[in-house]
Amino acid sequence: MRKLKSFQKFIHSLNYDLFNFNSSRESLPVEPTPSILQVPSPPKEELPSIEELYKLFHKINAVYFENKLPTVRIEYSNRMTNAGSYTPALKLIKISRKYHEIFREDIEDTLKHEMIHILHFYHNAVFKKEAIRIGASLKAKPHPAVRRKPKYLYFCPGCKKEYPRQKRLRMASCGFCSKKGKFDIRFKLKLFKS
Ligand SMILES: [Zn+2]
Ligand SMILES: [Zn+2]
């Protein structure tokens, strides 16, 4: 199941059409069963520049909105706990730095979601229709720090990345350190506390 989601995420990064808006928000550890599925390559350290965000904005505007959206301002926010926001009065999309430093792969989804808000302020039925049409999340995603507290906290002995989980993991290794998406005993996730 995890692998499938991870795979869908990977496919999404290549192809707009296969986006699954229910896909998990967390980066996924690798589990040891043999599989042909690939794990997405590790995220780059840096978030996209504002210029890159505008490029993405124009691309999404062309592909999904026939270039009908007015160009708005795009900024990063260092404080915001939600993934993104749109302020109509300022014609301003804000992208949360904190959120995307953890879920870098969500940037496009966040931008799409906020771009729908340029046309539809509320998360109403029309908004939802649009979100499904363009493959964007239906709701603003909160920063993980304000989510339900995980029962288990695992960490990678290599890169020290933390994997908060509601369920126990038995044989899972770090998705960023393990080579080619295969279980790697050197990066087997360790339980921090329970
Ligand atoms: Zn929203
Ligand atoms: Zn690691």
**Residue ranges of domains in the chain, CATH in brackets:** 1-42+148-194 (no CATH), 43-142 (3.30.2010.10)
* 46 class by beta-carbon count within 10 Å (0-12 exposed, 13-18 middle, 19+ buried): exposed
Ligand 1 midpoint to CA 82 (Å): 9
Q: For residue range 90-100, list pLDDT tens digits in order.
A: 999 999 998 99
Confidence class for position 3, pLDDT limits 50, 70, 90: low
Ligand 2 midpoint to CA 90 (Å): 40
Could you say which ligand is closest to the alpha carbon of residue 156?
2
Q: What is the pTM of this model?
A: 0.55
Could you give the angle at the alpha carbon of 149 between the alpha carbons of 148 and 153, nearest 5°?
A: 135
The percent of residues above 70 in pLDDT, for the chain, comes to: 73
Residue type, 17: D
Q: For residue range 13-55, list pLDDT tens digits in order.
A: 443 333 333 334 444 555 544 434 444 444 446 899 999 999 9
Ligand 1 midpoint to CA 194 (Å): 34
Could you say which ligand is closest to the alpha carbon of residue 110?
1
Higher-confidence residue of 113 and 2: namely: 113
Which pLDDT does position 143 carry in this prediction? 77
Could you say which ligand is closest to the alpha carbon of residue 157?
2
Cβ neighbors of 164 (< 8 A, separation 6 or more) are 26, 144, 150, 152, 153, 154
Q: For residue range 164-173, list pLDDT tens digits in order.
A: 887 888 889 9
Which pLDDT does position 172 carry in this prediction? 92
Ligand 2 midpoint to CA 44 (Å): 14
Q: For residue range 123-133, list pLDDT tens digits in order.
A: 999 999 999 99
